């Protein structure tokens, strides 16, 4: 682990355990920071919520947005960074990635604020909502799911837990101070947690243990580790890109997305699992 990565990891931990790093109280109206893209079909659409990492939006997120729209999902993106006046990559790197600003709880709270209005739209099927989060965004999704499952927040959450059908987390921070570290997820939410086993920024071992803990409490969560893969393994613009791990994660996600679109409760059951899903898991290190 190089010095920069050590600094980032320590920052994540400091953000998680520090009570004064939250900036949610400085955020007012989030409306102008919300982007909602609708598929061309014009039909009532399931909803996909995308939360990128601490350096915000990158080309691999655009790929997922296009892919989800093609599959009939509306795609929601909330720029919590810009809502706090954080627009420069240098500031994101020195203040968000290092953990001096914005723990996952901040972004989770932002999502709590704006989601009821999105669900109220006539062209959104709120009962089929999925979430995707990368790194800091994965931490934010984990905190959000814990808030929904435990109704933990400043006010009662006006969000139905069973609307969240699936969540896909890429190499999140899972350490001390995250809400999920001592929390639980809604039992109706299928969670796939993808982590490179050579990640030196966030720890795969911590996420594996967190997944086991949440599963013991009734959560439907799977930890999926990729041998040799590192942090940002799915970013095709970086040297750390791992095509094999990315394709395996994509196949597993696509299978779950189909189940969500056609309703998990209406999907045929094969001893609790789809044969296609079982086949996809073959060769993936868990």
CATH number of 180's domain? 3.40.50.1820
Helix (H, G, I), strand (E, B) or coil at 77: strand
Taken in order 228, 213, 166, 109, the sign of the CA dihedral is: negative
Q: Which residue has the tokens 């919590």?
A: 80
Sheet holding 74-78, edge to edge: 34-37, 74-78, 45-51, 124-134, 164-170, 190-196, 220-226
Number of domains in the chain: 1
The answer on pLDDT for 240 being more than 80 is: yes
* 113 belongs to a structural domain: yes
* 87 belongs to a structural domain: yes
Q: Which residue has the tokens 């050579």?
A: 198
Helix (H, G, I), strand (E, B) or coil at 67: helix
Q: What is the mean pLDDT of residues 191-215?
A: 96
* 201 belongs to a structural domain: yes
CA distance linking residue 27 with residue 111, whole number of Å:
12
* 67 belongs to a structural domain: yes
* 224 belongs to a structural domain: yes
Q: What is the mean pLDDT of residues 119-140?
A: 97
Q: Which structural domain, as residue segments, surrounds residue 218?
A: 3-281
* 286 belongs to a structural domain: no
Q: Contact 256/190 with Cβ under 8 angstroms? A: yes
Mean pLDDT score of the chain = 84
pLDDT for 102 equals 87
pLDDT digits (tens, 9 = 90+) for 163-175: 999 999 999 999 8
DSSP E strands: which ranges in the chain?
34-37, 45-51, 74-78, 124-134, 164-170, 190-196, 220-226
CA distance linking residue 54 with residue 102, whole number of Å:
9
């Amino acid at each position: 682990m190089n010095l920069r990565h050590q600094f980032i990891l320590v920052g994540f931990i400091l953000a998680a355990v520090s009570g004064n790093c939250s900036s949610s109280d400085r955020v007012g109206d989030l409306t102008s920071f919300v982007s909602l893209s609708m598929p061309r079909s014009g039909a009532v659409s399931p909803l996909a919520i995308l939360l990128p990492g601490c350096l915000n939006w990158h080309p691999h997120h655009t790929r997922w947005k296009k892919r989800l729209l093609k599959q009939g999902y509306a795609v929601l993106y909330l720029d919590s960074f810009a809502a706090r006046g954080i627009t420069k990559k240098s500031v994101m790197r020195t203040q968000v990635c290092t953990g001096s600003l914005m723990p996952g709880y901040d972004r989770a709270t932002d999502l709590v604020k704006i989601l009821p209005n999105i669900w109220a739209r006539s062209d959104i099927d709120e009962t089929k909502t999925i979430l995707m989060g990368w790194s800091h965004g994965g931490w934010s999704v984990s905190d959000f799911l814990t808030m929904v499952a435990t109704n933990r927040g400043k006010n009662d959450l006006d969000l139905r837990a069973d609307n969240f059908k699936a969540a896909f987390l890429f190499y999140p921070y899972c350490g001390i101070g995250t809400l999920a570290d001592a929390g639980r997820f809604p039992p109706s939410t299928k969670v796939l947690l993808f982590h490179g086993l050579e990640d030196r920024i966030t720890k795969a071992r911590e996420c594996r243990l967190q997944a086991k803990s949440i599963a013991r409490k009734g959560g439907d969560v799977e930890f999926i580790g990729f041998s040799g893969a590192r942090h940002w393994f799915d970013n095709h613009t970086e040297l750390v890109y791992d095509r094999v791990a990315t394709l395996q994660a994509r196949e597993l996600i696509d299978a779950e997305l189909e189940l969500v679109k056609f309703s998990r409760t209406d999907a045929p059951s094969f001893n609790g699992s789809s044969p296609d899903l079982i086949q996809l898991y073959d060769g993936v290190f868990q």
